[in-house]
Structure 1
């Protein structure tokens, strides 16, 4: 039986943990910066109606196709694009506003995920 294998595995895991830890902290820092940026911006707030959003922020650059609506448990989700952010509505009220980021996580919202 090879007694070096468990020791080698433990050492390898320790090295990987140390290497990944700074990346996790950097990701946390970027997320915190993004949250602070969102708080500083004037964005549509949860609960606002579509009419309120359009009156306060103007017409969106585009209104994307709605999703869902197949049942009461899957309400219609509407998405409006503005320069720099996307507003998500459940039926006709804001549920979330998301900043467009260079990270690539919402650069093509028209494609289903």
Structure 2
């Protein structure tokens, strides 16, 4: 009689009602906790700051364990991105300036950046 697509608004409304009524809805709590913990760790480590040059990073933190192959550079929209791996963190550079630094942890999906070709 009824087509399944007619039931979608009803199912959506029920999900909102039951969620608002305090019924347990599945939440990705574990992933949120890992992310919060990781951000707190990064703040406490004083990682290389955005805008630092490669020379400044190397003077302050020493030589990286590994300088990974650069990526991009084929167009202005895709500038050259360099990645340096240290024991506990990875630094990403656009040309020769830091754009991001992250912990090298299992929670970060970056435990082996050398394999991310």
Which category describes the TM-score, using the shorter chain as reference length?
0.7 to 0.9
Change (3 A) 1:49 1:104: closer
Partner of 2:59, secondary structure, is: helix
How large is the RMSD of aligned CA atoms in angstroms?
2.5
Give the corresponding residue for 1:60. 64
- What's the CA shift for 1:74? 0.5
- Using structure 2 for the length normalisation, give the TM-score: 0.75
3-state SS of paired residue (2:55) = helix
Moved over 4 A (4+): none
TM-score by length of 1: 0.78
Distance across 2 between alignment mates of 1:54 and 1:64: 15
Deviates more, 1:50-59 or 1:27-36: 27-36
In structure 1, list runs of 5 or more residues that go unmatched: none
Cα distance in 1 between the residues matched to 2:24 and 2:115: 37
For 1:36 and 1:26, the matched residues in 2 are separated by 16
